[in-house]
Amino acid sequence: MTDLIDFLNARLAEDEAVAQAATPGPWNDDGGCISNADYQITDYGAYTKADGEPEEWEPQRQRADSAHIARHDPARVLREVTAKRAIIADVEPDDPSAFIDGWRDEHWRVLSLLAVVYSDHPEFREEWRP
């Protein structure tokens, strides 16, 4: 169990570090461009698909991408990290022997639900999947 908690704490530390290094928000979505008080990104240009073929941005996709980026600005990520750390603190037993003595199933489920977000991480273990 402590491995799962250590895994979660490491992923949250990574999320926090990336958010703190990013240009601060709040980012705003203006129907296809994103901006904050100092910057505006209006043209993403072209991108390359996995097969190497270039593809032009579609306006609908650009609007969706800018809405997603604005919605998940660094301030929101930092709030999520704080909230998830509070959840972990609420369900983590004070006594590590509680893991052995039959820790409550609902606490395990809460932690596994937090961890499954990171299931694409190489250190994620399938036995943590809810």
pLDDT digits (tens, 9 = 90+) for 4-17: 999 999 999 999 99
State how far the Cα of 15 lies from the Cα of 8, in Å rounded to an integer. 11
Q: What is the pLDDT of residues 24-38, one digit of tens each?
A: 777 777 766 777 777
- Per the listing, tokens 């909230």 go with 83
Long-range contacts of 104-109 (CB under 8 A, 24+ apart): 108/1
Tell whether the model's pLDDT for residue 124 goes beyond 60.
yes
Query: Is the link from the previous residue into 26 a cis peptide, with omega within 30 of 0?
Result: yes
Domain span at 51: 2-128
Q: Do 29 and 78 meet the contact criterion of CB atoms below 8 Å apart?
A: no
The token pair that represents 70 in the structure block = 């604005």
In sequence order, the 6+-apart residues with CB closer than 8 A to the CB of 115 are 4, 7, 8, 11, 124, 128
Between CA 115 and CA 125 the distance in angstroms is: 9
In this predicted structure, which of 19-33, 43-57, 105-119 has the lowest mean pLDDT?
A: 43-57
Number of separate domains in the chain = 1
| pLDDT for residue 100 is more than 60 | no
